[in-house]
Structure formats: C-alpha cells, structure tokens
Amino acid sequence: MNIPATLRYTKEHEWISLEGDVATVGITDFAQGELGDVVYVEIETVGQAMAEGDVFGSVEAVKTVSDLFLPVSGTVLEVNQKVVDSPELVNSDPYGDGWMIKLQVSNPADVDGLMDAEAYKALIG
C-alpha cells in the first residue's frame, strides 16, 4: 500500500499536500481500495468557505457512496475535472491525477496537526 511520507492524513482517509497556503486534497490509497471501483465523483463546493470536517463532496463506488471531509478549514478553489470526467483515476492514481480539490487554507499551520505517514500507517494497521 502506498502511503507517501510527504503528505499529511486524516482519520477519514483524506490526504493533503500544502504548497504555501494552497493545498491539494484527495483520498488515500487505502480508502480507494476499501471503496472498490469508483464510478462517480461529485463536488459542488467551489468558492465555498468551509470548516475542518465539513463534507465537500462524495465519491460513489459500485457498492457504496462515501462523503469527502475537509482536512482543514479553507475555501475550495478548484475541483479536479479529470476525476469528474474519469472517476477511475481515484483508483489508479489516488496521489497523482486522482486528486479531488485545491483548497485555499485558512491557517496553514493546521496541516501540521494532521497525521504523518507513520501515524496513518498505525491507524490503518
């Protein structure tokens, strides 16, 4: 299982990568594996200021639908149109072309409070 050391993670299985005060957010390799084949991604929160833990969208797999939770507070800047058009990218490349959103982070220091790769590995066993 791929758990990049350069990212931060949440207990809801989202990952975040921060550059300045703009973050890229997606779901982890573990999460996509648990979901199975992703067939639909719905994110309609562009332009919205949201709080940590808020639902920013959902992913639908063959057998289930799962909410996507914001790892830190901020404003959703962009949705990855590639995953809307080709949701299977979430399965094949969760840390690359399968990212979900770009987020203007309210407080970049909040990212430091999330799990590092070792803590996330411990969480998922």
pLDDT for the residue numbered 63: 87
Q: Each residue of 35-59: pLDDT tens digit? A: 999 999 999 999 999 999 999 999 9
Q: Is residue 70 part of a domain?
A: yes
pLDDT for the residue numbered 114: 97
pLDDT for the residue numbered 12: 96
Q: Is residue 27 part of a domain?
A: yes
Q: Is residue 3 part of a domain?
A: no
Q: Is residue 118 part of a domain?
A: no
pLDDT for the residue numbered 1: 85
CATH code, domain with 101: 2.40.50.100
pLDDT for the residue numbered 30: 97
Q: Is residue 53 part of a domain?
A: yes
Beta bridge partners of 75: 49, 104
Residues of the chain with pLDDT below 70 are none
Separation between Cα atoms, residue 32 and residue 61, nearest integer Å: 9
Q: Which range of residues forms the domain containing residue 80?
A: 8-108
The pair of structure tokens assigned to 82 is 């590639």
When divided into structural domains, the chain yields a total of 1
DSSP 115: B
pLDDT for the residue numbered 32: 96
